[in-house]
Chain A
């Protein structure tokens, strides 16, 4: 076991000057570990634990958390990347790279005698300017399928093979557009990601309805029904002996049995209410009846329902209650006192699929599904995880684009443009802060440079080309990762999220500054960094 640490975190910091050097070298070290991961040509890391568990990822945030990088600086950077992930769901590798590069550039200035304070003030000026550039690159979009496909594809191709990525792109965009409701914030929880062990990831598909990972618990219940009324409820159909009756002073066996029978009847009556409604609505028609209960259903209740050919599921996920109502219509019931047809939902098809010991129930052919399920398929747990991470990123990218009402050109175009603008801006800045602006302009180029290197091209050559093109064309210019030449991201359909870049700029500036002003932070105590 790890020693339960009660150490004052301050004690781990070396003295100020040393601490700065330590911070810079640690940030560089982390950057070195992550740089190969960036972009569609980046490397994946396969982390194999001491027990043999596998995790495959290139997500900067995950890597920071999974790899045992032993340094307090790392946890500061980790916090930035976690925040990045929480807020936007993307850009975590870029975050790590930009922080590292800001510190690297700072290191050069500091070794020439510049005070860290001057640098951080310059960073702040640069940050504001960079955000202006970002705003100027915004491309306003309507949330149409064509517009969203590009942003989703760009994101997904940085996570999985193009063939799988393109398949997932379609699925993700369809999913979001299906659940999107006019004038309402998109709730990605209404897209359930369900995992299923299966040979190939390419069979991942979108179900316009609900898939649960459990099924009926009675052998005689139907395995497949059509034209189904769906009753969703949160009502116990399970007889429970209460804790009130002490067993000490034992009543006679008969007395006990009677008590049980009386309490049992209470439950039976609930079941009868369901059956009554089912008979009224379904008997003599081609319609069928499905019960999905958040509470338990015990064997006697299952028996009664099965006799009526009702398909019943127990212990459904709390979240599925809401989702079922959205997918099938109807209301989740908390009692059966006043149960009516209007409370029920509807699905064209409900069927069961069994895999090993897991049963899946598919509830499909809903009239207007405002909640859907992406059924992820992969041969093993870690592939499924990898797929899930990718899909999550894809969904977030689409949501971000809709929320922003805008996207920006990708492939390093933003960083190139910002860097160039900062170089012009720098001339207007008086005093030593100018050096900070300059360092910032250099640091942003780490993104296109790294994209180039990861695609097998020379960093310097590429940057020169891109900056030249940008100057001549005056429009957004990014890197063509297959040729190493400049391209127009808008032609190639490569886009990034506006809010992702914005968050990167903001959080990297803050964290880098904090790391540079380490001596002042030490005095203020680490707790001031919380949050």
Chain B
């Protein structure tokens, strides 16, 4: 079977938090049991390789970018591909007595990473007693996978350049890409990954939309589109930590608007992400999940939710069973009429009561089926083009056999013989005037440390909902997530437009004008938001 490969790109600090959880989730969900193989084709996101010691490696097909201070103890080349000691027979290129060593203070690993290293050496599983909430300053502090030497791209700069290298500015990021060195290196790494792929699906890009990484991302996507012409799905994201500084809020809004404008142009599909209900004018209240308690101020928490949504909704194009269902299908389904923006939804856990069957759960279901993770955008049940993925409901939990069916038999859904069929029927009945593409797999999402402990105590080890507290950690959970394209996105554009139009003139934003933003481009951006708003308005009713 040829795998249809995907290259993932993470740009920015928050995006790397999301990415870290996402890759952690992948590894936690690997199956080493040949009788019970994974339903997910991991070769879509991973590559197999061989280091110089002849060992086989299996690493994310990933490129990420962050600032120096964010990557802490991570070596640029990683550790998997270290040169064998024997070959290091040091033959230096300069007189050894004339080498002056300048050593920075060694960066300490977080307690979690230390325990990981130890268990890696002793082959014992990690003890999960560590409280991670207080020990995670950067995503590297909770990172499970080891990377290929190509993966990590560090933006070097010095502290004294702070004023001259405004990392908070879209246009600075764009300039950084245009500085030959960065884009040469980066696009060469992209090429190397793509060359390895037999038949690539395309690219997934997670990027911070509120700072210079948005600008890097925009340029990068333009490059990908020009050079490879493959599908690109992207997720511009915003940390839900609240900030007080109102001037910087305005800058973030400007960055986000510019980000979308360019992302829109180059990607096939995109979905803004944030755990706050709103991201402008400022970060709003956290999105509510009935069975979760999480701290939206912690990147470590909020990014885990976003990663969970991404992991589930992308299953559509990562399955073994339907390997010809690919990213371009997803994009084609949703980006009709030039509507490239979509809203992301998450249902965590998919609330199935202990001992109950899907048929009853759906029947008793009250309230909205999903929670939006797209800022300033709710997702209605109706009038959506949507792609939904459900994982973790096995066929055994569909309904009772006819001999024990009792009341179930009178329900119209009883004639459905698969989870897929029943869910489709349910969605057809509940989602008025919508077109749904549903994918489902039976295996739940397996969870282990460093995934944050955010489930309420009425969730069982296997992710069922019960009416009383249990004392065990959740180990697996059913999840539903989706991408939705509907008129709610119009409101999202409208709100961003109204915030952005508070900027009367771009001239006051020196950092932008100094790095090449012109009044015209700003005005185009305003118009773009208005056009999009109108493009999502339904006039057919």
Say whether B159 faces chain A, with CB atoms less than 8 Å apart: yes
Closest B residue to A43 using CB positions: B98
B511 contacts A49, C-beta separation under 8 Å: no
CA distance A7 to B105 in the complex (A): 28
A75, A164, A197: the one within 8 Å of B93 (CB): A164
Inter-chain contact A161/B94, CB cutoff 8 Å = yes
- The answer on a CB contact under 8 Å between B163 and A44 is no
Q: Is A298 an interface residue (CB 8 A)?
A: yes
Considering the chains assembled together, what is the distance between the CA atoms of A5 and B88 in angstroms?
42
CA distance A53 to B82 in the complex (A): 12
B260 to chain A, nearest CB (A): 20
Could you tell me if A217 and B198 are in contact, using CB atoms closer than 8 angstroms? yes
Beta-carbon contact of A48 and B107 below 8 Å: no
Q: Which residues of the partner chain A approach B227 to less than 8 Å between Cβ atoms?
A: 318
* Assembly CA distance A247 to B325 (angstroms): 8
Contacts of B514 in A (CB 8 A): 527
Partner of A53, one of B75, B91, B328: B75
Interface string of B12-27 (1 = CB under 8 A from A): 0100000000000000
Taking the closest CB of chain A, its distance from the CB of B465, in whole angstroms, is 32
A379 x B435 contact (CB < 8 A):
no
Contact status A201-B73, CB under 8 Å: no
CB distance from B322 to the nearest CB of A (A): 10
Chain A, range 280-298, C-beta contacts under 8 Å to B: 296, 298
Assess whether A308 is interfacial by the CB under 8 Å rule: no
Closest to A313 in B: B195
CB of A65 within 8 Å of the partner chain: yes
How far, in whole Å, are A61 and B227 apart by their CA atoms in the complex? 33
Q: In the complex the two chains form, is A247's CB within 8 Å of B72's CB?
A: no
Q: Which of B143-167 contact A (CB under 8 A)?
A: 156, 158-164, 166-167
Total number of B residues with any Cβ neighbor in A under 8 Å? 84
A383 to B89, alpha carbons, bound, how many Å? Answer: 12
In the complex, residue of chain B having the shortest beta-carbon distance to the beta carbon of A7? B163
Taken residue by residue from 95 to 131, chain B's Cβ proximity to chain A (1 for < 8 Å, 0 otherwise) reads as 1001111111111000000000000000000000000
B163 touches A2 (CB 8 A): no
User: Which of A124-132, A135-143, A174-182, A236-244 touches B?
Assistant: A236-244
Q: Are A242 and B83 in contact (CB under 8 A)?
A: no
Interface membership of B362, Cβ < 8 A: no
Q: At the interface, yes or no: B87 with Cβ under 8 Å from chain A?
A: yes
Q: How far is the CB of A331 from chain B (nearest CB, A)?
A: 21
Cβ 8 A contact of B166, one of A5, A50, A200, A238: A5
User: Is B261 interfacial (CB 8 A cutoff)?
Assistant: no
Question: Across the interface, do B328 and A241 meet the contact criterion of CB distance under 8 Å?
Answer: yes
Q: How far is the CB of A9 from chain B (nearest CB, A)?
A: 4
Residue of B nearest to A318 (CB): B227
Contacting chain A: which of B283-291, B330-338, B448-456?
Answer: B330-338
- Of B44-52, B374-382, B533-541, the stretch lying at the interface with chain A is B44-52
Q: Does A371 contact B (CB under 8 A)?
A: no
Q: Is the CB of A246 within 8 A of B98?
A: no
B159–A2 CB distance below 8 A: yes
Among the listed stretches B186-194, B273-281, B499-507, which one makes contact with chain A, having 4 or more residues with CB under 8 Å of it? B186-194
Q: Say whether A9 contacts B164, CB under 8 Å.
A: yes
A214 proximity list for chain B (CB < 8 A): 192, 195
Decide: A161 and B52 in contact? CB cutoff 8 A. Answer: no
- Which residue of chain A is the closest to B73 with respect to CB atoms? A51
Nearest Cβ in chain A — how far from B484, in angstroms? 14
List B contacts of A74 (CB < 8 A): 158, 160
- Contact indicator per residue, chain A 428-457, by CB within 8 Å of chain B (1) or not (0): 000000000000000000000000000000
Chain B residues near A48 (CB-CB < 8 A): 101-104
- Check A380 against B104 for contact (C-beta < 8 Å): no
Per-position 1/0 for A4-32, Cβ under 8 A of B: 11111100100000000000000000000
Contact flag A36-B100 (CB < 8 Å), given A2-B69, A74-B160 = yes
B329 touches A247 (CB 8 A): yes
B197 to chain A, nearest CB (A): 8
| Interchain CA distance A246-B334 in the complex, whole Å | 8
Shortest Cβ gap from B436 to chain A (Å): 9
A4-B336 contact, Cβ under 8 Å, with A49-B104, A213-B192: no
CB–CB B191/A317 < 8 A? yes
Specify which of B52, B105, B156, B159 is in contact with A70 (CB 8 Å cutoff). Answer: B159
Q: Which residues of A contact B92 (CB under 8 A)?
A: 383
CA distance in complex: A441, B42 (Å): 68
Question: Which residues of A225-244 have CB atoms within 8 Å of chain B's CB atoms?
Answer: 238-244
Closest partner residue, chain A, to B325 (CB atom): A247
In residues 452-478 of chain A, which contact B (Cβ within 8 Å)? none
A47–B100 Cα gap in the complex (Å)? Answer: 8
Known: A47-B102, A317-B191. A75 touches B75 (CB 8 A): no
Q: Report how far A2 CA is from B211 CA in the complex, Å.
A: 13
**Residue A52 lies at the interface, judged by CB distance under 8 Å to chain B:** yes
Chain B, Cβ-Cβ closest to A58:
B94
Q: Which residues does chain B contribute within 8 Å of A243, judged by CB atoms? A: 231, 268, 328, 331-332, 335
Residue contact A1 to B67, C-beta cutoff 8 Å: yes
Q: Name the contact of A67 in the complex, choosing from B102, B161, B197 (C-beta under 8 A).
A: B102
Cβ B89 vs Cβ A199 within 8 A: yes
Query: Beyond A36-B100, A200-B91, A298-B199, is A247–B332 a contact (Cβ under 8 Å)?
Result: yes
| Beta-carbon contact of B94 and A160 below 8 Å | yes
Nearest Cβ in chain B — how far from A382, in angstroms?
Answer: 10
Bound complex: CA A36 to CA B230 (Å): 52
Query: What residue of chain B has the Cβ atom nearest to residue A297's Cβ?
Result: B198
* B-contacting residues, A380-431, CB 8 Å: 380-381, 383, 386-387, 390
Cα A200 to Cα B93 with chains together (Å): 10
Check A68/B159 contact, CB under 8 A, given A53-B75, A298-B199. yes
Most buried by A among B88, B163, B211, B511: B163
- Given A1-B13, A243-B231, CB of A6 within 8 Å of CB of B168: yes
B437 interface hit (Cβ, 8 Å):
yes
Contact A315-B336, Cβ < 8 Å, known A51-B73, A51-B76:
no
The interface bits of chain B over 411-449 (1 if a CB of A lies within 8 angstroms of the residue's CB, else 0) are: 000000000000000000000000101000000000000
For residue B78, give the distance in angstroms from its CB to the closest CB of chain A. 10
Q: Which chain B positions have C-beta within 8 A of A390?
A: 93
Complex CA–CA separation, A197 to B86 (angstroms) = 13
A493 within 8 A of B: no
Q: Of A3, A51, A296, A317, which contacts B74 at CB under 8 A?
A: A51
Q: How far is the CB of A481 from chain B (nearest CB, A)?
A: 13
What CA separation (Å) do A244 and B328 show in the bound complex?
8
Question: Is A45 close to B, CB under 8 A?
Answer: yes
Which residue of B has the minimal Cβ distance to A79? B164
Q: A245 at the A/B interface (Cβ < 8 Å)?
A: yes
Q: How far is the CA of A246 from the CA of B91 in the complex (A)?
A: 59
Contact of B251 with A by CB under 8 A: yes
Chain A hits for B162, CB < 8 A: 2-3, 5, 7
Are B167 and A380 neighbours in the complex by a CB distance under 8 Å?
A: no
Q: Are B194 and A315 in contact (CB under 8 A)?
A: yes
Task: Answer whether A43 and B325 are a contact pair too, CB < 8 Å, given A5-B166, A68-B159, A315-B194.
Answer: no
Min CB distance A68 to B, Å, is 5
User: Which residue of chain A is the closest to B168 with respect to CB atoms?
Assistant: A4
Q: In the bound complex, how far is the Cα of B152 from the Cα of A381, in angstroms?
A: 15
A153 at the interface (CB under 8 A from B): no
Q: What string of 1s and 0s marks CB contacts (under 8 Å) between A60-86 and chain B?
A: 000001111111101100000000000
Binding site for B on A (CB under 8 A): 1-9, 12, 36, 41-53, 56, 65-72, 74-75, 160-161, 164, 197, 199-201, 213-214, 217, 238-248, 256, 296, 298-299, 314-315, 317-318, 355-357, 379-381, 383, 386-387, 390, 527
| A–B complex contacts, Cβ < 8 Å, 7 sampled | A2-B159, A44-B98, A48-B101, A160-B93, A243-B268, A315-B191, A356-B51
**With A66-B156, A69-B158, A241-B329 already in contact, 9 other A-B pairs whose C-beta atoms are closer than 8 Å:** A2-B162, A2-B167, A5-B167, A6-B247, A51-B72, A213-B192, A248-B435, A355-B52, A356-B52
